[in-house]
Copies of this chain bind each other. A is one copy, B any other.
């Protein structure tokens, strides 16, 4: 059975990516990151999702990306802003080089378990200023991985990064996920970690709008 490493945050995108990898016949090794984000809701969701999906192994990397702050997601002194659908500048929720760090770990994990495929749920369509969600970056990172791992350089086992939603809207992604049987009540999207999602941050707004457009009921209950 082909093996794949799936970056699993517990959010909507990565969960859909996990189901897609399974549908494509991969044995899944999932990886989550406890990187000093404001809350652990997503991490709990990720663990539960991995278990329900029957992954071969689920790993949580602990790391202190909050040591140097720089983002509202890791720095308690920066507030998560109210949502703004027309935001044009780089949001303060941007975590510098986050996907690069995540993909580097995924490459290491893939090399150890013998996987040649890595799935990441990024999209260039809704990327909101997160430059590490663009195809150009993913291709550059795939190239770096294939220059910097023994499996690729010495053993002819190149690693491919799959970013299946790169050119899909979130609406299209949800439509696909519903076909794949994803239970979106298992996922967490809100930037904040309260009992119920806030319904007001950029992340909640994008999700709510996408469910509406896809014509499905979002199974989550929102505070507002």
**Which A residues form the contact surface with B (CB < 8 A)?**
59-65, 67-70, 90, 94-101, 103-105, 107-109, 111-113, 129, 131-132, 134, 136-137, 140-141, 143-145, 147-150, 153-154
Q: Per a CB cutoff under 8 Å, which of B59, B65, B108 touches A97? A: B108
Shortest Cβ gap from A15 to chain B (Å): 21
Contact A104 B101 (CB under 8 A): yes
A28 to B190, CA, bound (A): 37
The residues of B that contact A62 with a CB separation of less than 8 Å are 62-64
Name A's interface SS: helix
Contact B154 A147 (CB under 8 A): no
A205 to B99, CA, bound (A): 38
Shortest Cβ gap from A98 to chain B (Å): 7
Q: Per a CB cutoff under 8 Å, which of B63, B107, B140 touches A148? A: B140
A68 to B113, CA, bound (A): 8
Q: Per a CB cutoff under 8 Å, which of B59, B104, B107, B137 touches A147? A: B137
Contact A141 B132 (CB under 8 A): no
Q: Per a CB cutoff under 8 Å, which of B90, B136, B143, B145 touches A150? A: B90
Contact B131 A153 (CB under 8 A): yes
Contact A64 B61 (CB under 8 A): yes
Shortest Cβ gap from A91 to chain B (Å): 10
Beyond A60-B67, A63-B64, A97-B145, list 8 extra A-B contacts (CB 8 Å): A62-B63, A90-B150, A90-B154, A99-B148, A100-B108, A131-B149, A131-B153, A132-B149
The residues of B that contact A109 with a CB separation of less than 8 Å are 68, 96
| Of A67, A104, A148, most B-chain CB atoms within 10 Å | A148
CB nearest neighbor in B for A70: B112
The residues of B that contact A98 with a CB separation of less than 8 Å are 108
Q: List 6 A-B contacts (CB under 8 A).
A: A65-B105, A70-B112, A96-B109, A96-B150, A97-B145, A141-B147
